[in-house]
């Protein structure tokens, strides 16, 4: 598989960034709803054995938001690497990152070998 053209890869990264920002917006809206619901004393779901508590849902949303924000940072870093001609090169060993890996993880910083032996990509 040939490496993607820079313009194609840039579009893939920009599309992924757009999707991630939309997810952040959605998660933020849902988190606001959960915070409002937990402020309402009538919505005490802490004793519901069947469902997730508002506190648990709030914690999950906060974690998802944090991961999504890191993802945007990683995409921005990949766009910066693309702009300076360093995209698709392992930041640990300097070898080309397999195009199939970049297809799955467009913001990958490392080749599979380096990611498995010492460091890892964030997403």
Quote the number of domains for the chain. Answer: 1
Is 106 a member of any domain?
A: no
Residue 98 confidence (pLDDT): 95
Residue 120 confidence (pLDDT): 46
Is 105 a member of any domain?
A: no
* Residue 1 reports pLDDT greater than 90: no
The domain in which residue 73 lies consists of 6-87
pLDDT digits (tens, 9 = 90+) for 78-110: 999 999 999 999 999 999 999 999 999 999 999
Q: Name residue 96's beta-bridge partners.
A: 89
Residue 74 confidence (pLDDT): 97
Sign of CA dihedral 64, 12, 112, 115: negative
Provide the token pair at 93: 């060993």
Is 78 a member of any domain?
A: yes
Measure the CA–CA gap between 47 and 77, rounded to whole angstroms: 44
Is 115 a member of any domain?
A: no
Is 46 a member of any domain?
A: yes
Residue 38 confidence (pLDDT): 80
Is 97 a member of any domain?
A: no
pLDDT digits (tens, 9 = 90+) for 22-72: 999 999 999 999 988 887 755 555 555 555 788 899 999 999 999 999 999
Long-range contacts at 24-28 (CB < 8 A, ≥ 24 apart): 24/65, 24/68, 24/69, 24/72, 27/61, 27/64, 27/65, 27/68, 28/65
Is 103 a member of any domain?
A: no
Is 120 a member of any domain?
A: no
């Amino acid at each position: 598989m040939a490496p993607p053209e820079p313009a194609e890869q840039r579009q893939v990264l920009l599309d992924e960034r757009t999707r991630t920002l939309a997810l952040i917006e959605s998660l933020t809206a849902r988190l606001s709803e959960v915070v409002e619901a937990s402020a309402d004393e009538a919505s005490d779901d802490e004793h519901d054995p069947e469902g997730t508590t508002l506190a648990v849902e709030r914690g999950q949303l906060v974690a998802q938001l944090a991961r999504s924000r890191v993802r945007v940072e990683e995409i921005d870093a990949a766009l910066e690497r693309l702009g300076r001609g360093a995209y698709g090169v392992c930041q640990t060993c300097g070898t080309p990152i397999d195009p199939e890996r970049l297809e799955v993880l467009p913001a990958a910083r490392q080749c599979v070998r380096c990611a498995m032996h010492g460091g890892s990509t964030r997403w």
